[in-house]
Chain A
Amino acid sequence: MNYAILVSAAPFSTQGAHNAINFCEAAIDAGHRIARVFFYQDGVHNASALACPPQDEPPLTPRWQALHTTHGTDLVVCIAAAQRRGLLDEDEARRHDKPAANLAGHFRLSGLGQLAEAAIEADRVVAFHA
């Protein structure tokens, strides 16, 4: 089955983001496809290149990136939600005249239309909230 995933939970603040990545990895192991994960609301913080959790709290970002590099999952971060919360790629940082970019590799910024499209095309939509 082809799943579209919505992640609205920030990493660590709640269990939501852990549940989301655990679900995605388990679904792929079971032979399903995760075409796209859409990060919205506080979920955009999962795409930060600057998160440094303590050593005994394994980071989630590399696990998301592995979904993209190993399984081709499209990791899309809502651009409006990201800008509001200070998460920018190089282009946006330049465009808004900000001193740095902090979007992690293998994630991309785009609009809510990417979530709409994924929800229309997927067999199932699963949302992970805070």
Chain B
Amino acid sequence: MPERRFLLSLSRAPYGHLDGQEGLDLALVLAAFGQNVTVALLDDGVYHLTRGQDSSALGLKPYTRQLPALGDFDIRELIVDRAALQARGLSASQLQAVTHEDDDFNEHDSLLLLEGAALAEKLATFDIHFGF
């Protein structure tokens, strides 16, 4: 059976809902099963990657710290909707860096900022999409 390409999209802000945390858990398990996994941050999901988060006052686990470590799980692509960033007054400079190593241990940027038709075209390339 050919390898399937999975897309895990997070569209809600972290902490307000558990969706992001449970979605990321699924992404990591699929990666552990050797699947090709891409994570996409859409709509309010872009808040997952903002710098300077502190969830301690909420009494909630700072699970968004998993995102910069996605490369350790061999998840090499993190798509961010650039239009969603702009609509929320955010810019790429306010996002945490996310990198991965290729098979020769060279480090690469995992972030892929896309918007509009290019984003839609990219999202349509995956075999299975789990939205959270």
Contact = CB atoms under 8 A, between A and B. Distances in A.
A113 B4 CA distance: 15
Interface string B107-128: 0000000000000000000001
A49 to B, nearest CB: 23
Interface stretch (A58-66, A98-106, A116-124): A116-124
A67 to B, nearest CB: 22
Contacts of B35: 116, 120
Interface in A75-130: 80-81, 111-113, 115-117, 119-121, 125, 127, 129
The majority secondary structure among interface residues of chain A is helix
B19 interface: yes
* 5 smallest beta-carbon distances between A and B, as pairs: A112-B29, A116-B33, A116-B30, A116-B29, A125-B128
Interface of B: 1, 4, 6, 18-19, 22, 25-26, 29-30, 32-33, 35, 128, 130-131
